[in-house]
């Protein structure tokens, strides 16, 4: 099939925002140091250009594995970034996918376009490529908003956790104490708890492009 279109159009890139919280504290984010221009030597989210016959989620997972060696992580769609001028290579729209996990099965290692891969505090990242400092700020806002208004930690706890650990994670993310969190989430059908142990009940997504609870 040939692709012809007379008007200019943007390219699409796919980024993966992997957050980890080994001690249930405020999370770290996985970044790669760019090995090629533009922004060589600067840090960025793992990612790259989407291939023509590729589904976005599959492409984000592919780029993550190519650049860090990590795979089989529960990536979910977050948001898109498309401000003009964000990429010196041309007009680029980025789809960002994310997940929050306790930790990864093994340490990431820079490969392909990435000279290095390392964990950084989400709140104090190093010098970033493109507009990724702003993207990280939006990821933090997205995470904190979900923690304040719903439930987080399903993939941290693999669907089953003590109410104490859930409260600890929420408090460390938001900086606030919510004594009614467990009861409220039970009433809203987000948790099913018995004897201090809670099972996460996730709303059914409407399709591959929208997940109601990312973190």
For residue 65, the enclosing domain spans 11-132
In a 3-state reduction of DSSP, which class is residue 201? Answer: coil
With respect to residue 196, please indicate whether it lies within any of the assigned structural domains: no
Contact 46, 13 (CB under 8 A): no
Other beta carbons within 10 angstroms of residue 205's beta carbon come to 13
Q: Taking all residues of the chain, what is their mean pLDDT, rounded to a whole number?
A: 95
Q: What pLDDT sits at residue 202?
A: 83
With respect to residue 137, please indicate whether it lies within any of the assigned structural domains: no
Gap between the Cα atoms of 120 and 90, Å rounded: 28
Count how many domains the chain has: 1
Tokens found for residue 119: 């964990």
How does pLDDT run across 21-66, given as a tens digit for each residue?
Answer: 999 999 999 999 999 999 999 999 999 999 999 999 999 999 999 9
Contact 126, 43 (CB under 8 A): yes
Q: Provide CB contacts within 8 A for 195, sequence distance 6+.
A: none
With respect to residue 171, please indicate whether it lies within any of the assigned structural domains: no
Q: What pLDDT sits at residue 1?
A: 57
DSSP 205: P
With respect to residue 159, please indicate whether it lies within any of the assigned structural domains: no
Catalytic residue among 54, 66, 116, 186: 116
Q: What pLDDT sits at residue 9?
A: 87
With respect to residue 60, please indicate whether it lies within any of the assigned structural domains: yes
Q: What pLDDT sits at residue 196?
A: 94
Q: What pLDDT sits at residue 3?
A: 65
With respect to residue 76, please indicate whether it lies within any of the assigned structural domains: yes
With respect to residue 57, please indicate whether it lies within any of the assigned structural domains: yes
In the residue annotation, 116 being an active-site residue is answered as: yes
Q: What pLDDT sits at residue 113?
A: 84
With respect to residue 101, please indicate whether it lies within any of the assigned structural domains: yes
Q: What pLDDT sits at residue 204?
A: 81
**What averages of pLDDT result for each successive group of 10 residues across the chain (215 residues)?**
78 97 98 95 97 96 98 96 91 97 96 92 95 97 97 97 98 95 96 97 83 93
* CATH assignment at residue 102: 3.90.79.10
């Amino acid at each position: 099939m040939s692709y012809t279109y007379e008007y200019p159009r943007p390219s699409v890139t796919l980024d993966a925002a992997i957050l980890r919280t080994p001690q249930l504290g405020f999370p770290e984010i996985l970044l790669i140091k760019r090995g090629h221009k533009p922004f060589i030597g600067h840090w960025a989210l793992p990612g790259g250009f989407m291939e023509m016959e590729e589904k976005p989620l599959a492409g984000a997972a592919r780029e993550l594995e190519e650049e860090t060696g990590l795979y089989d992580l529960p990536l979910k769609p977050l948001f898109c970034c498309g401000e003009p001028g964000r990429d010196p290579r041309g007009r680029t729209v980025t789809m960002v996918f994310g997940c929050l996990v306790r930790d990864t099965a093994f340490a990431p290692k820079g490969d392909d376009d990435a000279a290095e891969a390392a964990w950084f505090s989400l709140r104090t990242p190093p010098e970033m490529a493109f507009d990724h400092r702003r993207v990280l700020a939006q990821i933090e806002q997205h995470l904190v908003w979900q923690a304040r208004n719903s439930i987080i930690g399903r993939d941290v706890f693999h669907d089953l956790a003590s109410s104490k650990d859930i409260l600890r994670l929420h408090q460390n993310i938001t900086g606030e104490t919510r004594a009614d969190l467990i009861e409220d989430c039970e009433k809203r059908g987000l948790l099913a708890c018995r004897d201090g142990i809670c099972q996460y009940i996730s709303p059914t997504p409407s399709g591959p492009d929208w997940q109601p609870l990312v973190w």
